[in-house]
Amino acid sequence: MAKEAVIPFKGTAQQEAELMSVIAQHKDQDGALIPVLHQAQEIYGYLPIEVQTMIADGLGVPLAEVYGVVTFYTQFSLNPKGEYKIAVCLGTACYVKGSGDILEKFKELTGIDVDGCTPDGKFSLEATRCIGACGLAPVFTINEDVYGRVTADDIPAIFAKYQD
């Protein structure tokens, strides 16, 4: 179930102009909706209903269909992400090497569940599908930083680095 976004929509005029130019580029292309959503998420960081409405109007697609597509694919997010996005790989290779324990540890440390975001907007937590770095299993990422071959015991020290 999609949770209500905690943080109100704060889109800027510049973001809107960017989105409009993306829509204009793809408008007459077959199958334009998904590429536009990808780029919209890059612009805004997530896809709140305000952004979906602009896309629906711009492409001439019913809002219901836009919402249907957004909620079908896990890459698209209705909620804003934290400043630091923690993503724990739950692919098979990582799972058999204990990434489940790592996820539990992060839940404990952040106090949020999977797909949640801390109230201060600092951390969000995701459980991802295989990121293909199975040689480093178990793996998690915080934004662009990749941590591999870790155990649950290593987590508090790593987490502390992002806290201030």
Partner 1 sequence: MSLYRSHVLICGGTGCTSSGGAKLIDEFEAQLKANGLENEVKVVKTGCFGLCALGPVVVVYPEGAFYSRVQKEDVAEIVTEHLLKGRIVKRLVYDETINENDDTIKSLNEVDFYKKQMRIALRNCGVINPENVEEYIAFDGYKALATVLTEMTPQEVIQVIKDSGLRGRGGGGFPTGLKWDFASKSVNEQKYVCCNADEGDPGAFMDRSILEGDPHSVLEAMAIAGYAIGANQGYIYIRAEYPIAVQRLQIAIDQAKEYGLLGKNIFGTDFSFDIGLRLGAGAFVCGEETALMTSIEGHRGEPRPRPPFPAVKGLWGKPTILNNVETYANIPVIINKGAEWFNTIGTEKSKGTKVFALGGKINNTGLVEIPMGTTLREIVEEIGGGVPNGKKFKAAQTGGPSGGCIPASLIDTPIDYDSLISIGSMMGSGGLIVMDEDNCMVDIAKFFLEFTVDESCGKCTPCRIGTKRLLEILEKITKGNGTLEDLDRLELLCHSIKNASLCGLGQTAPNPVLSTLRYFRDEYVAHVVDKKCPAGVCKALTNYVIEEDKCKGCSACARKCPVGAITGEIKKPFTIDQSKCIKCGACMETCKFNAIVKK
Please give the residue ranges that form the binding site for partner 1 (CB under 8 A): 30-35, 37-38, 65, 68-69, 72-76, 90-93, 95-97, 128-137, 139, 146, 148, 153
Concatenate the DSSP letters of all residues of 21-77 into one string.
HHHHHHTTSTT-HHHHHHHHHHHHSS--HHHHHHHHHHHT--HHHHHHHHHHSTTS-
For partner 1, give the closer residue by CB, 42 or 122. Answer: 42
Q: Which is nearer to partner 1, 38 or 159 (CB)?
A: 38
Q: Give the shortest CB-79-to-partner 1 separation in angstroms.
A: 15
Instruction: Report the residue number, 80 or 126, with the smaller CB distance to partner 1.
Output: 126
Q: Give the integer Cα–Cα distance in Å for 130 and 97.
A: 13
Q: How far is the CB of 114 from partner 1 (least distance, A)?
A: 11
C-alpha–C-alpha distance, residues 25 and 141, integer Å? 33
Please identify, using beta-carbon distances, which residue of 120 and 144 lies nearer to partner 1. 144
- Give the shortest CB-8-to-partner 1 separation in angstroms: 25
| Cα 92 from Cα 104, distance rounded (Å) | 17
Alpha carbon distance 67, 65 (integer Å) = 5
Q: How far is the CB of 122 from partner 1 (least distance, A)?
A: 24
For residue 81, the minimal CB distance to partner 1 (Å) is 14
Are 150 and 138 a contacting pair, CB within 8 Å? yes
State which residue, 75 or 163, has the beta carbon closest to partner 1: 75
